[in-house]
Structure 1
Amino acid sequence: MLKVLYLLNHAGKAGTERYVYSLIERLHNKKIKAYFAYNEEGPLVDRLRELGVEIYRIEMRNPYDLKAVREVNSLCRKLGIDLIHTQYLRENYISMLSRLLNPKVKVMYTNHFIMRNNLPLRITNRLITPLEANIIAVCNKGKDMMISNGVNGKKIHVIFNGVDPDLWGEPIKSTLREEFGIDDDTFVMLCVSRFAHDKGHGFLVNSIARLKEMTDRKFMLVLANDGPLLEQVKKQVKDMNLEDKIIFTGFRRDVKNLFFGSDVYINSSEHEALSFAIIEALAAGLPVIAADMAGNGDIINSETNCGLLVKYNDPDSMAEAILKMMNDRELQESLKKNALKTVRERFNLDIMVDRTYNLYLKSCNQKI
């Protein structure tokens, strides 16, 4: 049984943490012995403790933190780690530098972002990639960006994020409309996204203002989650007199409940490699409208036919897509029909876990 150390700087509650949790939940004490080390405390720590995973804290101040390099090396020797699975550049560099002290430990990296690196990082990538066993890109554009950032493309494998289609697809009776006094005739849009600079909430609010000018039909946008820009977005909604069209729910754990009370899921993000929220919404049978950015085109395209793509930061494009779906019941039903099928065939958690585990074996030179 392989011993895998999952190393993550911040143990929060975003998509990357969901990715790590999903792998550990499916593989721990079944095909691997999982360990977890982190720098900044967050909800993931408690969730993994509930799974019986051994937890360690390692301070990681920067990608070249030599003290952290020594601590990672020491921990790997103590636990007999075969492979370190990293998620961000900081812990990835630290892990690869630790290989200079203990080459027996392999390092595998999953890249969750599509961002252009500066020149020093591109040079470092070229120098340090040989220390990497294998690399996962969660979408095709992510692979292309890594190659342009100086990473050896031969080591990059595209493995899409996945969710459990049975868990999300099993129907439930939603309390969303009753909770917020939304009647059955109102078209409900849902966005479950952390209020941060790259999530496009300002763009989405502007789109709702445009939609309000275009139709008299009743509609409501439900914004769920929290984050540093929450109050700023609330002020924007108030200033634009959209308080009758937009509801803020705060952070919610009952996301499935929200899905089953909505008519469409909206994603307005600028930098999202492959959104778990989009895939979960599709698994719940919701069609999706998303900005044509990052990996969204891997999910929504002419083959999957499960949603509509719009131009990022273009309120007219977003409003027109919403209006089209709102007024075309046949289109809405067609997209819904393909939603769950898309998840089962392309973004299934079992597929993600199996392919990742096989890459663990390949990285450690074991038979698949």
Structure 2
Amino acid sequence: MHILIVAPEQIPVPQILGGSVEISILAIAKQLARLHRVTIISRAHSRYPRHSTIEGIHIYRVPTGSPMTYLSHVKKFIKGKSFDLVQVDNRPKFVGPLKRMLKGTPISLFLHSLTFVSPPFTSRLAAAKDLAQADIIIANSSSLKQQLSSRFPRVSGQIRKAWLGVDTNRFHPTSNAKQSKAFRVLFTGRVIPRKGVPVLLKAVKHAQASSRRPIHVVIAGGSSRAGYLNSMRALSHKLHVNTKFLGTVPHSRIHKIYRQADVFICPSQQHEAFGLVNVEAMSSGLPVIASNNGGIKEIVRNNKNGILIKSYHRPQAFGAAILRLINEKQTRKSMALQARKDCLERFSWKASAKRLSHIYSRLRK
């Protein structure tokens, strides 16, 4: 089967710094390419040539701009070519125009969140029309599948689930861990309000009051809002929480940051469709303390490979969990071992691609 993957217009493939959608696209494509012929269309970038080949995958890059400007260049590239299936990632508005252009070619819409089927990006009516034109809709978690089915019941029968994964070879536990005097807490991701950094900082303040060990926080992630990032620095200073802000760390180096931590915290305050950072942390041998929302609870199993926080708006709840893992060394070790085991068994990119290949092969019959 010749599969064409149409990436969004914002971040190139391969991603330069971060971008979970683009990370997923290339990782899944590498696995699909073992079974199928795979082509990716991505946005142009000065760092990359217009065409390159990575592990048998042909990546063609076209000019970007607004979503519709980018789509016009995608259509120019596609004209006169044929594919057995087209996968559009996270851009429902692309489905209709490509469907009309590639008559008879199945179109899959791979959704990574609710963002592009919700205001302010679109109306519910417009989103429903876009979704209805896809032959199949892939949701990256059962939670996202349920949310989509509830909002758009007419397309519920077209929705399938395919979990995302992690490169378990690159994200692995450190073999020469040095015991640190401080307990090291890690957060990775965008520093934006919905990710819950204030909750994390206040939680550490709460835990530090009763901890026998000093607690150091590392925040690896940038922000499109300089003012908000500065306010987080000010908050950590005000709370007297020892915090190191690394800024945006390229994904090619982020695995080294995970290996320097004792625990990973994901204090998301809104629905997370999947939460790629959690499986990266788990694969690195870290127990995860995370908000009990969205697809996170499909990854983090409470008291098995981590701790789920029901009252995730309350810093005290996270603080108590941090304190527990500081005090219970054996619990921390057993959760870390289980986290790694779960990633090897359930959250590899090979498993993601196998699931997609099965869905697409049935669609072609």
- TM-score, normalised to structure 1, is 0.84
The residue type paired with residue 341 of structure 1 is: K
Q: Is the 8 A contact 1:114 1:141 kept in 2?
A: no
Which stretch shows the higher mean deviation, 48-57 or 328-337? 48-57
In 2, are the aligned partners of 1:10 and 1:42 still within 8 Å (CA)? no
After superposition, what is the alpha-carbon deviation per residue over 1:8-50, rounded to whole angstroms, capped at 9, x for unaligned? 12115221111011022333475223121338x598x679946
| Superposed counterparts of 1:314-333, under 5 Å | 314-333=314-333
Q: Secondary structure at the match of 1:85?
A: strand
Distance in 2, Cα, partners of 1:171 & 1:209: 28
1:279-290 to structure 2, matched below 5 A, reads 279-290=279-290
Give the AA of the match of 2:195. Answer: K
The CA deviation string for residues 159-178 of structure 1, in whole angstroms up to 9 with x for no partner, is 1111132332264446xx8x
Cα contact 1:164–1:348 (8 A) shared by 2: yes
- 2:196 aligned partner: 200
Instruction: Summarize the Cα distance change of 1:138–1:60 in structure 2 as closer, same or farther, 3 Å threshold.
Output: same
1:162–1:348 CA contact under 8 A, matched in 2: yes
- 1:180 aligned residue: none
- 1:144 Cα shift? 1.2
Q: Which moved more, 1:286-295 or 1:158-167?
A: 158-167
| Contact 1:110 1:135 (C-alpha < 8 Å) held by counterparts | yes
Cα distance between partner residues in 1 of 2:355 and 2:51: 22
Q: Note the 1:124-273 alignment, pairs <5 A.
A: 124-150=126-152, 152-169=155-172, 171-173=174-176, 184-228=180-224, 229-242=228-241, 245-253=242-250, 254-270=253-269, 271-273=271-273
Q: Note closer, same or farther for the CA distance 1:356–1:147 as it changes in structure 2 (3 Å cut).
A: same
Q: 2: distance between equivalents of 1:289 and 1:42? A: 39
Q: Corresponding residue for 1:31?
A: 36
Cα offsets for 1:278-334 (capped at 9, x unmatched): 1011112111101112211001125x8100011222101110110111111221122
Decide which moves more: 198-207 or 53-62. 53-62
- Matching residue's letter, 2:134: E
Q: How far apart, in 2, do the equivalents of 1:46 and 1:29 lie? A: 24
- Is the contact made by 2:9 and 2:70 (CA closer than 8 Å) also made in structure 1? no
Deviations 1:93-142 (A, max 9, x none): 22323312332232211211146835973323433433212111111110
2:339 paired residue number: 339
TM-score by length of 2: 0.85
Answer yes or no: is the 8 Å Cα contact 1:73–1:102 preserved in 2.
no
AA at the equivalent of 1:158: K
Number of the residue aligned with 2:118: 117
Name which of 55, 61, 66 aligns with 2:66: 61
Percent sequence identity over matched residues? 18
Give, as a single letter, the amino acid of the residue that structure 2 aligns with 1:194. Answer: R
Q: 1:76 to 1:147 in 2, by over 3 A?
A: same
Instruction: State the alpha-carbon separation in 1 of the partners of residues 105 and 43 from structure 2.
Output: 18
Structure 2 vs 1, CA of residues 336 and 232 (structure 1 numbering), >3 Å: closer, same or farther?
A: same
Describe the shift of the 1:212–1:195 C-alpha distance in structure 2 as closer, same or farther (beyond 3 A).
same
Work out whether 1:19 is the aligned partner of 2:20.
no
Between 1:323-332 and 1:144-153, the stretch displaced more is 144-153
Structure 1 residues 313 and 47: alpha-carbon distance in aligned structure 2, compared to 1, 3 A threshold: farther
Deviates more, 1:17-26 or 1:231-240: 231-240
Distance 1:70 1:261, change over 3 A: closer
Contact 1:306/1:339 (8 A) holds in 2: yes
Please, which runs of 5 or more residues in structure 1 have no aligned partner?
Answer: 178-182
Consecutive unaligned residues of structure 2, counting only runs of 5 or more, are none
Alpha carbon RMSD of aligned pairs, Å?
2.8
SS in 2 for 1:324: helix
1: CA distance, partners of 2:138 / 2:77: 24
